[in-house]
Structure formats: structure tokens, C-alpha cells
A and B are shown apart, each in its own frame.
Chain A
Amino acid sequence: MLEKTKTVLSLQRIHFSYRGGAIPVLAGVDLEVARGGWVTLVGPSGCGKTTLLKVACGLLRPARGRVLLAGEPVDPRGKVAYMPQHDTLLPWRTALGNLLLPAEVEGRPRKLARREALSLLSRFGLDAFANSYPGQLSGGMRQRVALIRTFLTEREVLLLDEPLSALDALTRAELRDWLRGIWEELGRTVVLVTHDVEEAVVLSDEVCVLSSRPARVLGRLAIPLPRPRDPTSSETSRLRGEVLACLRGGSHD
């Protein structure tokens, strides 16, 4: 019972298909995310990871199954933060202007939101870019701004859809550390989607392996290592191997 109250987001036996059942995408997926935790979803590309995130934030309604927030079955629309995969910064707004978007949509006082955004920009090393337009920023900088914006939504649960995938290897490694830092400092609950197993092992409390479409949960793997984690250590390598084995095990059927 005590364990239950710690769960902030829970998906129960989620089924989903496109075109009224013609294309089944999710076949009874369960997911439990503890408050302040980090769960990463990995799976073959096109398996329905993004669909699962969209169900979790209420953009899609599951055919069967329930979404619970803090134990209550609810429509999660507007209650869970979601960062889509591709560049979603408004090109006509500066970095700071983009950070004010959540507050503007919710009608929060602008002054306060501005102060908060500026403080996060400087805390996470972006103050020099506050007045730059997205077109003037590098891919890595754009993703940092978009990630900070997601944290500024004041939602407990953040769903991040492959935020680091489009970056080059060096920037990705850099941003991975940066993202861990901001999460540790601001303390939110994260559900990350990625196809990078190393990223999953280095960042999360738990890795959830999904099968190819229609997606089921193939396995869950707790990562009980202290952070920051060394991606080349023997422990992380062993866990990476386990995740990969789990992924491969699912592709046989």
C-alpha cells in the first residue's frame, strides 16, 4: 500500500489502435512511475513508444486500459508535460519568449514567469542566448531551451520523446549530463523515450523494454547504480547487455 502512494503515473493494460482497430499499436502495456523517478522506454523503432507517451498525456485516448495520476483515474490532458520529438520552438520567439509559452497558455502572471525563466537560463548556462531566435541557435542549444521549457510547465510528470536523438554524438553526450543535472536539481518525474540503450542505462532508475508492434512490455530492468554513471564501466556495460538481450528476445516471435 505504501508503494502505491509513491506511484505518480500509472498506465494499466493500455490498448490502442489506429483506424478503429485496423492497426493495433499497443497491446496491454503497463507502466508505473514513482514520484521523482526516471523511467526510460526502449524498443524497436516504430513500436509505439510515441503512441504510449501520447496516451499518457491525453493526446490519444486508449481503446482499453486506464491512465492514473497519483492513484486517480483521470483524463491526463493538460496535467502531464510532453515534449514532442521534433523542434517545437516557435521560430518567431526568442529563447526567453519560448520559455514564457507555458505560462502564457495557462494565464500565469508574466512577470513571475519571466523571472523564473531567466533564472533557469542562467542556472543552466544559457543566459547568453536569452534573446536569440531559434534559427540562431545550434541544435543542442535548441534542445536545451525546449527541455527547460518542459521543466517550466510546472507539471510533476515530464514525457520526453527522444530529445537527444537528432544530435551528433558529442553534443548528445554533453546534453545527457546536462539533462541529468537539471533533473537532479529541479526534481521531477521523467518518462524518456529513446532508442539509445546506453542513454537509457546511464540516465534511468528503470528501463522498460517494449516489443515490436503491437507493443507489449518485454521486461523491466532496475538500474540501481549511483549517478553520475560512467557509460564505459563494467556495471553499465553489463546492464546494457541485459537490455539488449531483452530486446532481442522479443524480436523472435
Chain B
Amino acid sequence: MTKGWNLRGSAISLALLALLWEVGVRVGGVPPYILPAPSRIFNTFLAELPLLFSHAGTTMAEVVLGLFLGSAGGMGVALTLFYLPSVGRALYPLILGLQVTPVFAIAPLLVLWLGYGIWPKVAVAALISFFPIAVNVTDGLRSVGEEMVDLLRTLGAREGKTFRLVRLPASLPFLFSGLKVASTLSLVGATIGEWIGAQHGLGYLMLHANALLRVDLVFAAILTLTLLGLALFGGVALLERRFLRWRKEGKNS
């Protein structure tokens, strides 16, 4: 992923975009409660850093908890689909139904059931991140070739050992692919959860600022969300590189 990045090019295009925005707003005389200039947004971002930080902490806690619970659930479903295919087949329509139902549609219910604290947001983040993990890990468990399993059997391994020595490590790259998707999705989930009913968090802050026509603060919150998303993705990518060193080195031949 990072291989395709051209840092200098990205920086230049970003700077150009900001410049165009800045000039457009100033020349066009757009009022700041409609579209604030980037310089104003950045100033607000700096000035409100403690406030943004405190709300970001709440959102991040929801995301990380949701991601953790969603991953655990996703892996559980993947293992069930793999080891108990008949149970898996019975459950699959249910899981798929849950997935195609927009999670945001049931978010109000979650708020009703779980209150205004972090738990409905954790639930939304978990529900939204569970599916990519389940699908990817299932593929990972199935990616192990028949001959590899045969080899382990002739060495005298039972399924437990085969799982630990072969299936689990073979699933890791798939797990990380799922985590990359899930980590960004769960941030979306937590934010929307906060829109529906919250007392803290970046989503709540955005709604609040919007009502006060503090569009600069809305943008500052969006910038914070973007940074959180990048940090999450980067964290997963870092873990991936740490655990899958063989993939990088294996390509040198």
C-alpha cells in the first residue's frame, strides 16, 4: 500500500487544493459560516486542540472497543463457518441479512437500548467491522491447500496442531486485510452513532458546532477524524508489517 505513495506529489497537490480553496473563498467573498477558508480552519484546529483532543479520545475509545469486539465476533463466525459448515450454512443468511441491513438504520434502536453513553457507538462500530473480518478470515482458513494438510497429518498432527501451525498463520494476511477495511469503517460507524445520540465525541461536537454555525469547528472536527482514521490505518499497517515480515522479504527473489 505505502509503496505506491508519492509523498512529494501528494504534498504538492494538497497544497494546491488548499491554495485554490483559500483564494476562492477570499475572492468570492464566501461567508465563513458557509465555507471557512483553510487558514481559518487550521487556526480553529490549533485553538481548539484541547477540546478536539478530549472528544477524539471518546471517539477513539468507541472505535477501538468496537473494532476489538467486531474482530472477535468476526473471527468466531469465521471459525464456525469453517469447522461447523452445517451450522455455518444455517447462520449465513442471518449474517448476510444483518450485513445488508444498514447498521445506521438500527442505530437509533441501539441508542434506545444502550443509552447515550459509549456503548451504542461501540455496538455500531462492532457491527460494521465484524463482516469484513468474518469474510476475510473465512477465506484465510480456506486458503490452506489440501496437500499442506496432508503433510501435517502424515507428521502425526491433529486438527489442533494443524490450526496452530498452518491455518492460523495462513489466515493472518487475510485478517489484516479485513482489519484495514474494518478500522476505517468503524470510525464511520462511531461517528454516525454519535450523531444519533451522544454527550461526547467528535460526531457530537460536529452536530453541536453545526447548530451554532461554527462551520470552522465542524471542519476542524472533520480534520481530526481524518487524522484519527489515518492513525488507525497506519497502526494496522504497522502491525501487519511487524507480523508479516516474510511477505516483504519473500518478494526479493
Does more than half of chain A's interface fall in helix, strand or loop, or is it mixed? Answer: loop
Which B203-253 residues sit within 8 Å CB-CB of chain A?
A: 244, 246-247, 249-253
Complex: chain B residue closest to A57, CB-CB: B154
Chain B residues with a Cβ closer than 8 Å to the other chain, count: 25
| A94 cross-chain contacts in B, Cβ below 8 A | 246
> CA–CA, A134 to B166, complex, Å?
15
Contact A101-B154, Cβ < 8 Å, known A133-B246, A136-B249: no
| B154 cross-chain contacts in A, Cβ below 8 A | 57-59, 77-78, 80-82
Contact A93-B150, Cβ < 8 Å, known A136-B253, A138-B253: no
Contact A101-B165, Cβ < 8 Å, known A58-B154, A88-B148: yes
Q: Is A241 an interface residue (CB 8 A)?
A: no
Complex: chain B residue closest to A155, CB-CB: B154
Which of A90, A106, A133 sits near B156, CB closer than 8 Å? Answer: A106
Which of B147, B166, B170, B250 sits near A133, CB closer than 8 Å? Answer: B250
Query: Can you list, as one digit per residue, whether each of A18-45 has a CB less than 8 Å from chain B (1) or not (0)?
Result: 0000000000000000000000000000
| A134 cross-chain contacts in B, Cβ below 8 A | 250
Contact A102-B155, Cβ < 8 Å, known A54-B150, A84-B147, A88-B147: yes
Q: Is A104 an interface residue (CB 8 A)?
A: yes
Contact, CB under 8 Å: A104 / B147: no
Complex: chain B residue closest to A146, CB-CB: B151
Query: Can you list, as one digit per residue, whether each of B17-58 has a CB less than 8 Å from chain A (1) or not (0)?
Result: 000000000000000000000000000000000000000000
| A91 cross-chain contacts in B, Cβ below 8 A | 246, 250
A-B contact count (CB 8 A): 75
Nearest CB in chain A: distance from B253 CB, A: 5
Most buried by B among A59, A80, A83, A92: A92
Contact, CB under 8 Å: A153 / B251: no
Which A158-178 residues sit within 8 Å CB-CB of chain B?
A: none
> CA–CA, A104 to B165, complex, Å?
9
Q: Is A112 an interface residue (CB 8 A)?
A: no
> CA–CA, A92 to B247, complex, Å?
7
Q: Is A105 an interface residue (CB 8 A)?
A: yes
Nearest CB in chain B: distance from A9 CB, A: 14
Q: Is A74 an interface residue (CB 8 A)?
A: no
- 13 more A-B residue pairs beyond the given contacts A77-B154, A88-B151, with a C-beta to C-beta distance below 8 A: A78-B154, A78-B155, A78-B156, A81-B154, A82-B150, A84-B151, A86-B145, A90-B166, A91-B246, A91-B250, A101-B165, A105-B165, A133-B250
A sample of 13 inter-chain contacts (CB < 8 A) reads: A77-B153, A77-B154, A78-B153, A81-B154, A81-B155, A82-B150, A92-B172, A105-B155, A135-B246, A135-B251, A136-B249, A136-B250, A153-B155
